[in-house]
Structure 1
Amino acid sequence: MTNLKHSSATATATRIAAGDDRTQYDSFSILLHWITVILVLAQFGLAQTWGFAPKPTRHLMIVSHMSFGILLSAVLIVRIGWRLMPGHQTPVSAAGWVERAAKGVHYVLYALLVGEAVLGFVLRWSGNESMSFFGLLMPSPFAPTSKATHHAIGEAHDFVGWAIIVIAAGHAAAALFHHYVLRDDVLKRMLPRKAGDA
Protein backbone atom coordinates (compact mmCIF):
# COMPACT_ATOMS: atom_id res chain seq x y z
CA MET A 1 0.00 0.00 0.00
CA THR A 2 2.86 2.37 0.87
CA ASN A 3 4.58 1.66 -2.46
CA LEU A 4 1.31 2.28 -4.30
CA LYS A 5 0.85 5.65 -2.55
CA HIS A 6 4.49 6.55 -3.27
CA SER A 7 4.09 5.58 -6.93
CA SER A 8 0.89 7.63 -7.22
CA ALA A 9 2.57 10.64 -5.57
CA THR A 10 5.54 10.34 -7.93
CA ALA A 11 3.25 10.17 -10.96
CA THR A 12 1.33 13.22 -9.74
CA ALA A 13 4.49 15.25 -9.03
CA THR A 14 6.02 14.42 -12.39
CA ARG A 15 2.76 15.20 -14.20
CA ILE A 16 2.84 18.66 -12.65
CA ALA A 17 6.53 19.12 -13.52
CA ALA A 18 5.84 17.97 -17.08
CA GLY A 19 3.10 20.59 -17.34
CA ASP A 20 0.53 17.93 -18.18
CA ASP A 21 -2.88 19.55 -17.75
CA ARG A 22 -4.38 16.97 -20.16
CA THR A 23 -4.68 19.58 -22.90
CA GLN A 24 -4.83 18.24 -26.45
CA TYR A 25 -2.63 20.53 -28.57
CA ASP A 26 -3.14 21.34 -32.24
CA SER A 27 -0.33 20.92 -34.80
CA PHE A 28 0.56 24.63 -34.89
CA SER A 29 0.90 24.78 -31.08
CA ILE A 30 3.17 21.74 -31.21
CA LEU A 31 5.30 23.36 -33.94
CA LEU A 32 5.63 26.60 -31.93
CA HIS A 33 6.59 24.60 -28.83
CA TRP A 34 9.47 22.82 -30.58
CA ILE A 35 10.68 26.01 -32.31
CA THR A 36 10.78 27.59 -28.84
CA VAL A 37 12.78 24.64 -27.48
CA ILE A 38 15.33 24.84 -30.32
CA LEU A 39 15.74 28.62 -30.00
CA VAL A 40 16.09 28.50 -26.19
CA LEU A 41 18.78 25.81 -26.42
CA ALA A 42 20.59 27.74 -29.17
CA GLN A 43 20.45 30.95 -27.11
CA PHE A 44 21.77 29.27 -23.99
CA GLY A 45 24.50 27.43 -25.91
CA LEU A 46 25.71 30.61 -27.59
CA ALA A 47 25.73 32.59 -24.34
CA GLN A 48 27.70 29.91 -22.50
CA THR A 49 30.33 29.35 -25.20
CA TRP A 50 31.13 32.68 -26.88
CA GLY A 51 33.57 33.54 -24.09
CA PHE A 52 35.84 30.73 -25.35
CA ALA A 53 35.75 31.85 -29.00
CA PRO A 54 38.24 34.19 -30.71
CA LYS A 55 37.08 37.79 -31.17
CA PRO A 56 35.68 37.62 -34.76
CA THR A 57 33.79 34.40 -33.99
CA ARG A 58 32.61 35.78 -30.65
CA HIS A 59 31.14 38.83 -32.39
CA LEU A 60 29.30 36.58 -34.85
CA MET A 61 27.97 34.47 -31.96
CA ILE A 62 26.75 37.56 -30.07
CA VAL A 63 25.02 38.91 -33.17
CA SER A 64 23.44 35.47 -33.73
CA HIS A 65 22.30 35.47 -30.09
CA MET A 66 20.58 38.83 -30.60
CA SER A 67 19.00 37.74 -33.89
CA PHE A 68 17.70 34.47 -32.45
CA GLY A 69 16.50 36.39 -29.39
CA ILE A 70 14.39 38.69 -31.55
CA LEU A 71 13.11 35.65 -33.47
CA LEU A 72 12.26 33.94 -30.17
CA SER A 73 10.41 37.07 -29.03
CA ALA A 74 8.31 36.95 -32.20
CA VAL A 75 7.60 33.24 -31.68
CA LEU A 76 6.52 33.94 -28.09
CA ILE A 77 4.13 36.68 -29.23
CA VAL A 78 2.59 34.35 -31.82
CA ARG A 79 2.48 31.48 -29.33
CA ILE A 80 0.76 33.48 -26.61
CA GLY A 81 -1.68 34.99 -29.11
CA TRP A 82 -2.48 31.57 -30.53
CA ARG A 83 -2.93 30.11 -27.05
CA LEU A 84 -5.36 32.89 -26.08
CA MET A 85 -7.51 32.38 -29.16
CA PRO A 86 -10.45 29.99 -28.62
CA GLY A 87 -10.58 26.63 -30.34
CA HIS A 88 -6.90 25.69 -30.21
CA GLN A 89 -7.01 23.55 -27.07
CA THR A 90 -9.40 20.92 -25.84
CA PRO A 91 -8.76 20.34 -22.13
CA VAL A 92 -10.64 17.72 -20.18
CA SER A 93 -13.98 18.82 -18.82
CA ALA A 94 -13.17 18.02 -15.18
CA ALA A 95 -9.84 19.63 -14.28
CA GLY A 96 -8.57 19.33 -10.70
CA TRP A 97 -5.72 20.80 -8.71
CA VAL A 98 -3.12 18.69 -10.57
CA GLU A 99 -4.21 20.15 -13.90
CA ARG A 100 -4.15 23.67 -12.45
CA ALA A 101 -0.68 23.12 -10.99
CA ALA A 102 0.56 21.66 -14.30
CA LYS A 103 -0.82 24.67 -16.16
CA GLY A 104 1.01 26.84 -13.62
CA VAL A 105 4.31 25.30 -14.77
CA HIS A 106 3.53 26.54 -18.28
CA TYR A 107 2.68 30.00 -16.99
CA VAL A 108 5.96 30.18 -15.06
CA LEU A 109 7.93 29.22 -18.17
CA TYR A 110 6.02 31.73 -20.31
CA ALA A 111 6.66 34.49 -17.74
CA LEU A 112 10.36 33.66 -17.56
CA LEU A 113 10.71 33.55 -21.35
CA VAL A 114 8.94 36.88 -21.80
CA GLY A 115 10.99 38.40 -18.96
CA GLU A 116 14.21 37.11 -20.49
CA ALA A 117 13.31 38.55 -23.90
CA VAL A 118 12.56 41.97 -22.38
CA LEU A 119 15.78 41.87 -20.35
CA GLY A 120 17.74 41.03 -23.51
CA PHE A 121 16.49 44.14 -25.28
CA VAL A 122 16.95 46.34 -22.21
CA LEU A 123 20.45 44.97 -21.55
CA ARG A 124 21.67 45.85 -25.03
CA TRP A 125 19.99 49.23 -25.16
CA SER A 126 20.99 50.19 -21.60
CA GLY A 127 24.61 49.99 -22.77
CA ASN A 128 23.80 52.39 -25.64
CA GLU A 129 24.25 49.62 -28.21
CA SER A 130 21.92 48.67 -31.05
CA MET A 131 20.13 45.35 -31.26
CA SER A 132 20.93 43.47 -34.45
CA PHE A 133 18.52 41.28 -36.37
CA PHE A 134 20.65 39.49 -38.95
CA GLY A 135 22.46 42.76 -39.70
CA LEU A 136 19.45 45.08 -39.39
CA LEU A 137 20.26 47.49 -36.55
CA MET A 138 17.67 48.56 -33.99
CA PRO A 139 19.06 51.57 -32.07
CA SER A 140 18.26 52.19 -28.43
CA PRO A 141 15.03 54.16 -27.88
CA PHE A 142 16.27 55.54 -24.56
CA ALA A 143 19.37 57.09 -23.04
CA PRO A 144 22.08 54.75 -21.68
CA THR A 145 21.94 53.84 -18.01
CA SER A 146 24.72 53.88 -15.44
CA LYS A 147 27.30 51.08 -15.51
CA ALA A 148 25.91 49.72 -12.24
CA THR A 149 22.37 49.52 -13.67
CA HIS A 150 23.64 47.97 -16.90
CA HIS A 151 25.56 45.37 -14.88
CA ALA A 152 22.50 44.59 -12.73
CA ILE A 153 20.38 44.07 -15.85
CA GLY A 154 23.04 41.71 -17.19
CA GLU A 155 23.03 39.76 -13.94
CA ALA A 156 19.23 39.47 -14.06
CA HIS A 157 19.39 38.33 -17.69
CA ASP A 158 21.88 35.59 -16.75
CA PHE A 159 19.87 34.51 -13.70
CA VAL A 160 16.58 34.24 -15.61
CA GLY A 161 18.34 32.37 -18.41
CA TRP A 162 19.60 29.76 -15.96
CA ALA A 163 16.18 29.57 -14.29
CA ILE A 164 14.59 28.82 -17.67
CA ILE A 165 17.10 26.05 -18.39
CA VAL A 166 16.74 24.44 -14.94
CA ILE A 167 12.92 24.50 -15.00
CA ALA A 168 12.78 23.41 -18.65
CA ALA A 169 15.19 20.53 -17.90
CA GLY A 170 12.92 19.36 -15.05
CA HIS A 171 9.92 19.79 -17.35
CA ALA A 172 11.57 17.62 -20.03
CA ALA A 173 12.83 15.02 -17.55
CA ALA A 174 9.33 14.62 -16.09
CA ALA A 175 7.85 14.17 -19.58
CA LEU A 176 10.49 11.55 -20.41
CA PHE A 177 9.81 9.77 -17.10
CA HIS A 178 6.14 9.49 -18.04
CA HIS A 179 6.99 8.30 -21.55
CA TYR A 180 9.64 5.69 -20.72
CA VAL A 181 8.77 4.64 -17.14
CA LEU A 182 5.04 5.17 -16.71
CA ARG A 183 4.40 4.68 -20.45
CA ASP A 184 1.47 7.10 -20.66
CA ASP A 185 0.65 9.77 -23.24
CA VAL A 186 2.02 12.88 -21.46
CA LEU A 187 4.89 13.36 -23.94
CA LYS A 188 2.85 12.18 -26.93
CA ARG A 189 0.51 15.17 -26.54
CA MET A 190 3.37 17.45 -27.58
CA LEU A 191 4.89 15.27 -30.31
CA PRO A 192 4.17 15.86 -34.01
CA ARG A 193 1.28 13.65 -35.11
CA LYS A 194 1.64 11.11 -37.88
CA ALA A 195 -0.83 11.02 -40.73
CA GLY A 196 -3.96 9.24 -39.61
CA ASP A 197 -3.46 10.01 -35.89
CA ALA A 198 -6.60 11.19 -34.11
Structure 2
Amino acid sequence: MTTDSTDLPVRYDRLTMSLHWLTALLVIGLFACAQIWEQLPKGTPLRKELQALHISCGILLAVIVVCRLLWRLLKGRRLPAANQGALNILAKTAHLALYALLLSQIVLGFLLRWAQAEPFNFFGLFDVPTLISFDKSMKSVFGGLHEQVAWAIIILASLHALVALVHHYGLRDNTLRRMLPGRDLN
Protein backbone atom coordinates (compact mmCIF):
# COMPACT_ATOMS: atom_id res chain seq x y z
CA MET A 1 0.00 0.00 0.00
CA THR A 2 1.45 3.38 -1.00
CA THR A 3 0.55 6.74 0.43
CA ASP A 4 -0.06 9.62 -1.92
CA SER A 5 1.85 12.71 -0.77
CA THR A 6 -1.37 14.71 -1.05
CA ASP A 7 -2.80 12.53 1.75
CA LEU A 8 -0.08 13.62 4.18
CA PRO A 9 -1.02 16.36 6.64
CA VAL A 10 0.57 19.72 5.88
CA ARG A 11 0.24 21.25 9.35
CA TYR A 12 0.83 20.09 12.85
CA ASP A 13 -2.28 19.31 14.85
CA ARG A 14 -3.89 22.05 16.96
CA LEU A 15 -2.62 20.69 20.26
CA THR A 16 0.98 20.55 19.00
CA MET A 17 0.72 24.13 17.71
CA SER A 18 -0.90 25.35 20.94
CA LEU A 19 1.72 23.73 23.15
CA HIS A 20 4.53 25.08 20.94
CA TRP A 21 3.28 28.68 21.08
CA LEU A 22 2.45 28.48 24.81
CA THR A 23 6.00 27.28 25.43
CA ALA A 24 7.43 30.16 23.39
CA LEU A 25 5.24 32.70 25.18
CA LEU A 26 6.13 31.37 28.62
CA VAL A 27 9.87 31.21 27.87
CA ILE A 28 9.87 34.83 26.69
CA GLY A 29 7.74 35.94 29.64
CA LEU A 30 9.82 34.07 32.22
CA PHE A 31 13.06 35.48 30.83
CA ALA A 32 11.69 39.04 30.66
CA CYS A 33 10.30 38.77 34.18
CA ALA A 34 13.70 37.74 35.55
CA GLN A 35 15.50 40.51 33.65
CA ILE A 36 13.08 43.12 35.01
CA TRP A 37 13.25 42.06 38.65
CA GLU A 38 17.05 42.05 38.53
CA GLN A 39 16.86 45.82 37.95
CA LEU A 40 14.70 46.34 41.05
CA PRO A 41 15.99 46.73 44.62
CA LYS A 42 15.81 43.56 46.72
CA GLY A 43 12.79 43.30 48.99
CA THR A 44 10.53 45.61 46.97
CA PRO A 45 6.93 44.44 46.54
CA LEU A 46 7.11 44.51 42.72
CA ARG A 47 10.27 42.38 42.73
CA LYS A 48 8.60 39.83 45.02
CA GLU A 49 5.46 39.80 42.84
CA LEU A 50 7.53 39.26 39.69
CA GLN A 51 9.39 36.41 41.39
CA ALA A 52 6.11 34.79 42.49
CA LEU A 53 4.75 35.15 38.94
CA HIS A 54 7.99 33.67 37.56
CA ILE A 55 7.71 30.65 39.86
CA SER A 56 4.06 30.02 39.00
CA CYS A 57 4.68 30.40 35.26
CA GLY A 58 7.72 28.14 35.59
CA ILE A 59 5.53 25.44 37.12
CA LEU A 60 3.05 25.96 34.28
CA LEU A 61 5.91 25.64 31.78
CA ALA A 62 6.93 22.36 33.44
CA VAL A 63 3.42 20.96 32.93
CA ILE A 64 3.31 22.16 29.32
CA VAL A 65 6.74 20.74 28.45
CA VAL A 66 5.83 17.35 29.95
CA CYS A 67 2.53 17.39 28.02
CA ARG A 68 4.39 18.35 24.84
CA LEU A 69 6.82 15.50 25.20
CA LEU A 70 4.11 12.96 25.98
CA TRP A 71 1.94 14.19 23.08
CA ARG A 72 4.90 14.15 20.71
CA LEU A 73 5.94 10.64 21.74
CA LEU A 74 2.48 9.10 21.88
CA LYS A 75 0.04 10.82 19.57
CA GLY A 76 1.30 14.03 17.95
CA ARG A 77 1.07 14.42 14.19
CA ARG A 78 4.15 13.37 12.30
CA LEU A 79 5.06 15.47 9.28
CA PRO A 80 7.67 14.75 6.63
CA ALA A 81 11.00 16.45 7.34
CA ALA A 82 11.15 20.02 6.05
CA ASN A 83 14.84 19.54 5.23
CA GLN A 84 16.96 16.73 3.88
CA GLY A 85 20.41 15.46 4.82
CA ALA A 86 22.59 17.57 7.08
CA LEU A 87 19.94 20.28 7.48
CA ASN A 88 17.46 17.70 8.75
CA ILE A 89 20.00 16.37 11.25
CA LEU A 90 20.80 19.92 12.37
CA ALA A 91 17.10 20.74 12.83
CA LYS A 92 16.48 17.56 14.85
CA THR A 93 19.56 18.24 16.98
CA ALA A 94 18.40 21.81 17.69
CA HIS A 95 14.92 20.60 18.70
CA LEU A 96 16.42 17.93 20.95
CA ALA A 97 18.74 20.54 22.51
CA LEU A 98 15.79 22.86 23.17
CA TYR A 99 13.87 20.08 24.91
CA ALA A 100 16.95 19.12 26.96
CA LEU A 101 17.55 22.74 27.96
CA LEU A 102 13.89 23.26 28.89
CA LEU A 103 13.86 20.13 31.04
CA SER A 104 17.17 21.13 32.66
CA GLN A 105 15.84 24.60 33.36
CA ILE A 106 12.70 23.25 34.99
CA VAL A 107 14.70 20.93 37.25
CA LEU A 108 17.14 23.72 38.12
CA GLY A 109 14.24 26.06 38.94
CA PHE A 110 12.83 23.60 41.47
CA LEU A 111 16.28 22.85 42.91
CA LEU A 112 17.00 26.58 43.25
CA ARG A 113 13.74 27.22 45.05
CA TRP A 114 14.24 24.30 47.41
CA ALA A 115 17.82 25.47 48.12
CA GLN A 116 16.37 28.87 49.07
CA ALA A 117 14.33 27.04 51.72
CA GLU A 118 11.36 29.35 51.17
CA PRO A 119 7.83 28.12 50.54
CA PHE A 120 6.40 28.69 47.09
CA ASN A 121 3.06 28.13 45.48
CA PHE A 122 1.26 27.94 42.16
CA PHE A 123 -0.66 31.19 41.56
CA GLY A 124 -1.73 31.13 45.22
CA LEU A 125 -3.78 27.97 44.64
CA PHE A 126 -1.58 25.43 46.41
CA ASP A 127 1.84 25.16 48.00
CA VAL A 128 4.56 23.19 46.29
CA PRO A 129 6.04 20.69 48.75
CA THR A 130 9.75 20.59 49.42
CA LEU A 131 10.93 17.24 48.12
CA ILE A 132 14.66 17.75 48.68
CA SER A 133 16.51 19.82 51.27
CA PHE A 134 19.79 21.46 50.38
CA ASP A 135 22.42 23.44 52.17
CA LYS A 136 21.79 27.13 51.47
CA SER A 137 25.23 27.34 49.84
CA MET A 138 23.75 25.44 46.88
CA LYS A 139 21.50 28.43 46.16
CA SER A 140 24.28 30.24 44.28
CA VAL A 141 25.25 27.10 42.35
CA PHE A 142 21.68 26.38 41.21
CA GLY A 143 21.02 30.08 40.62
CA GLY A 144 24.07 30.45 38.39
CA LEU A 145 23.20 27.34 36.39
CA HIS A 146 19.57 28.45 36.11
CA GLU A 147 20.69 31.78 34.64
CA GLN A 148 23.18 30.20 32.22
CA VAL A 149 20.61 27.71 30.93
CA ALA A 150 18.09 30.56 30.54
CA TRP A 151 20.51 32.40 28.26
CA ALA A 152 21.23 29.20 26.30
CA ILE A 153 17.48 28.70 25.78
CA ILE A 154 16.99 32.30 24.65
CA ILE A 155 19.92 32.09 22.21
CA LEU A 156 18.88 28.72 20.75
CA ALA A 157 15.19 29.69 20.59
CA SER A 158 16.13 32.94 18.84
CA LEU A 159 18.15 30.99 16.28
CA HIS A 160 15.17 28.64 15.88
CA ALA A 161 12.89 31.61 15.19
CA LEU A 162 15.42 33.18 12.82
CA VAL A 163 15.72 29.96 10.80
CA ALA A 164 11.90 29.75 10.62
CA LEU A 165 11.86 33.29 9.21
CA VAL A 166 14.61 32.41 6.70
CA HIS A 167 12.49 29.47 5.56
CA HIS A 168 9.43 31.70 5.27
CA TYR A 169 10.88 34.82 3.64
CA GLY A 170 14.11 33.54 2.10
CA LEU A 171 13.36 30.01 0.94
CA ARG A 172 9.63 30.71 0.63
CA ASP A 173 8.66 27.23 1.75
CA ASN A 174 5.97 26.07 4.18
CA THR A 175 8.20 25.27 7.15
CA LEU A 176 6.91 28.13 9.32
CA ARG A 177 3.32 27.78 8.12
CA ARG A 178 3.25 24.17 9.33
CA MET A 179 3.28 25.51 12.90
CA LEU A 180 0.76 28.31 12.25
CA PRO A 181 -3.01 27.89 12.29
CA GLY A 182 -4.86 29.03 9.20
CA ARG A 183 -5.88 28.18 5.69
CA ASP A 184 -4.58 25.24 3.64
CA LEU A 185 -0.97 25.58 2.52
CA ASN A 186 -1.52 24.44 -1.03
Does residue 39 of structure 1 match 2:26?
Answer: yes
Moved over 6 A (4+): none
Identity of aligned residues (%): 41
Alpha carbons of structure 1 residues 187 and 197: separation in structure 2 relative to 1, 3 Å: closer
| Conserved? CA contact 1:50–1:62, under 8 Å | yes
What runs of 5+ residues in structure 2 fail to find an aligned partner? 1-9
Does residue 119 of structure 1 match 2:79?
Answer: no
Instruction: Specify the code of the residue in structure 1 equivalent to 2:87.
Output: V
Does residue 145 of structure 1 match 2:135?
Answer: yes
Distance 2:39 2:85 in 1: 48
| Conserved? CA contact 1:43–1:69, under 8 Å | yes
Q: Deviation of residue 87 (structure 1)?
A: 5.6
Distance 1:134 1:144 in 2: 24
- What is the root-mean-square deviation in Å for CA atoms of aligned residues? 2.0
Distance 2:95 2:120 in 1: 28
3-state SS in 2 of match to 1:91: coil
The correspondence of residues 87-166 of structure 1 with structure 2, limited to 5 A, is 88-92=77-81, 96-135=85-124, 136-147=126-137, 149-166=138-155
Q: 2:46 is matched with which residue?
A: 57
| Conserved? CA contact 2:98–2:156, under 8 Å | yes
Normalised by the length of structure 1, the TM-score is 0.80
| Conserved? CA contact 2:177–2:185, under 8 Å | no
Higher relative CO (CA 8 A, sep ≥ 6), structure 1 or 2? Answer: 1
Q: 2:4 is matched with which residue?
A: none
Aligned pairs, how many?
173
Instruction: Specify the code of the residue in structure 2 equivalent to 1:70.
Output: I
Distance 2:170 2:79 in 1: 26
Q: Deviation of residue 103 (structure 1)?
A: 1.1
| Conserved? CA contact 1:125–1:139, under 8 Å | no
